[in-house]
Chain A
Amino acid sequence: MFTGPQIVELISELGITHVVWVPDSTLGQWEEALTAAPNIELVRVCREGETWAVAAGLHLGGARPLVIIQCTGLFESGDALRNAVHDYKLPLFAIVGYRSYLNQSTLPGDTCLVFTEPILDAWRLDYRLIDAPEKFSQIGEHYIACREAGKPGVALIAEGKA
């Protein structure tokens, strides 16, 4: 739905200094643009739970991190995100890819559609569903609103395939 250059332009404007990620096939298409961005450092981690810990350390150190993972990685992240955003109350922000939301041709009956939004609610993460190109501006608006409120947040980006 969105290109790497679009995302890089947006997060550069937001002052993001580091992207901590585990890519999927949709978000991963942003890699070239993220790698080329002069003011953004891409931190590649091995498992999604790590994204929250690394982002927590970056935040404590005065940087402005952004987590990028798929919803399956959100499921994996549970304890790490609980610790960072609830125990320590760190206002971390994530872009989460919503697998199969637009198209289930690859994975018919994908249970990501069943669990993603209830999991975000369970972890008390304020999220915005971005399910159409015209909602692009809501990513930045939600990020700014969360930052000003000092709370964590998620932009949930609808994806079409696994």
Chain B
Amino acid sequence: MTLSLVESLQVLSEVRDDAVVVTAMGASREWMAIGSHPLDFNFVPSSMGQAPGLGLGIALARPDRKVIVCNGDGSTLMNLGAFVTLTAAAAENLTLLIFDNGVYEVTGAQLTPASTASGPDGRCVDLAAVARAAGFQSLYEFDDIDKWREQARTVIDQPGPTCAVLKVAPIPGAVGPKSPGPAPERARAFAAALRD
């Protein structure tokens, strides 16, 4: 069973309140379509795999703010060490959401290595298990939208660092996110919103 990425993000938008939300890749594309908030940081253009680090930096600088990072599985695979960086830093105000669709969606839905790798039991790589092994004490998995809707606020309000892996369906024909404007200006506006 899988969730819809769009529905999953809509649920997030209903519970984020005044949290900072950092999005990357496909999550950015759909998050921007849902709406905008001064504390959104749509990481477009991004350095693939670096959204968790960016979110960690914000969380450490502003421990009074909840920070939610929406990452993809391809981006996660590109920087698996970030799991350990996040748990080592132990930022209680940080939540990492991984939208796992098994493919590089924005480049045409090619399989990720994790989708082709098979363990002894024939399963693909289990990102939640990797996160658990990397030290996340607060860890969730969702493959059902009703359960995500029911627990989303709990996931976000939980003292972190928290990781939740949401199994989502790829969106056929989806493309990469378009930058919503000049990156330096958006960075300055975001920093100003954080100061307010």
| Chain A residues at the B interface, C-beta cutoff of 8 Å | 17-18, 20, 41, 43-47, 49-50, 52-63, 65, 79-80, 82-84, 87-90
Contact = CB atoms under 8 A, between A and B. Distances in A.
Interface of B: 41, 45-62, 65, 79, 81-82, 84-85, 88-89, 183-184, 187, 190-191, 194-195
9 closest A-B pairs by beta carbon, nearest first, are: A57-B57, A61-B61, A46-B81, A53-B53, A53-B50, A83-B47, A63-B61, A58-B57, A89-B184
Contact of A43 (B51, B58, B60, B62): B60
B184 A54 contact: no
A54 B54 contact: yes
B25 to A, nearest CB: 13
A78 to B, nearest CB: 9
B7 to A, nearest CB: 28
B195 A62 contact: yes
B26 to A, nearest CB: 18
A18 B60 contact: yes
Contacts of A83: 45-47, 50
B190 to A, nearest CB: 6
Given A57-B55, A87-B45, A49 B60 contact: no
B50 A49 contact: yes
Contact of A46 (B59, B84, B194, B195): B84
Nearest to B193: A60
B190 A49 contact: no
B195 A80 contact: no
Of the candidates B65, B85, B191, the one having the most CB atoms from chain A within 10 angstroms of its own CB is B85
Contact of A79 (B47, B65, B88): B47
B165 to A, nearest CB: 20
A80 B31 CA distance: 23
Contacts of A57: 53-61
B194 A61 contact: yes
Contact of B184 (A17, A50, A59, A88): A88
Contact of A44 (B79, B85, B187): B85
A47 B57 contact: no
Contacts of B82: 46, 50
A60 B183 CA distance: 13
Contact of B54 (A17, A53, A79): A53
A80 B41 contact: no
B191 A65 contact: no
Given A46-B81, A87-B183, A54 B53 contact: yes
B60 A60 contact: no
